[in-house]
Amino acid sequence: MPPNRILILFKTHHCGQTIADTRVIVSSNLVPLTVIKGAGHEFIPLPQGENATTADFHSIRTQTESPAYFTSGFYKIEAGPQRPAHYTFEETKYVLSGQIDVLDEATGITHHLVPGDFAFFHVGSKVKFSTKSQGFAFYAVTRPVRTPHPNLQGREESKSKL
């Protein structure tokens, strides 16, 4: 094993028998965390003619055989037409202010998300976002940066620090 690496073994048991072994090699080096002070207070402009936007604030790509992305940022919506979304990635949204209405096309149910509410969107989810006033949410997604926040320039990480 390379120096500065630790092997962690996870065993999954069912009915007293080991059914899976998972081996993970991680760095034994300490890695500093990334902090973006005041990120939630940055002004997020809406594109001209639009009533909703995303602002990706931080993204990281894993260094594995099957690279994966983890991107986080803020979602802003104001009153206007519904904003359709068909998910090809996983996403979580946590509402910070206002109200975000989400029509789940699989069930026909409109969820009225308010501060403190959390929603999870699966690959294949098809929804329409709207609001009668405004809404603001934090999100985390399994995709690369798509709409970088102007203040993200030069602060994003291109790969995992491990």
Residue 69 in tokens: 């992305």
Q: What's the rounded Cα separation, in Å, for the pair 35 and 33?
A: 6
Using alpha carbons only, what angle is made at residue 33 by residues 89 and 22, rounded to the nearest 5 degrees?
60
Give 123-139 as a DSSP string. Answer: TT-EEEEE-SSEEEEEE
Strand partners, 110: 103
For residue 142, count other CB atoms closer than 10 A to its CB.
Answer: 15
CB 65 within 8 A of CB 25: no
One digit per residue, the tens of pLDDT, for the chain of length 162 reads: 555 555 555 556 566 666 666 665 556 666 666 666 666 667 777 778 888 888 777 777 766 666 778 888 899 999 999 999 999 999 999 999 999 999 999 999 999 999 999 999 999 999 999 999 999 999 999 888 776 666 655 554 544 444
Domains of the chain by start residue, with CATH: 47-152 (2.60.120.10)
Residue count of the chain: 162
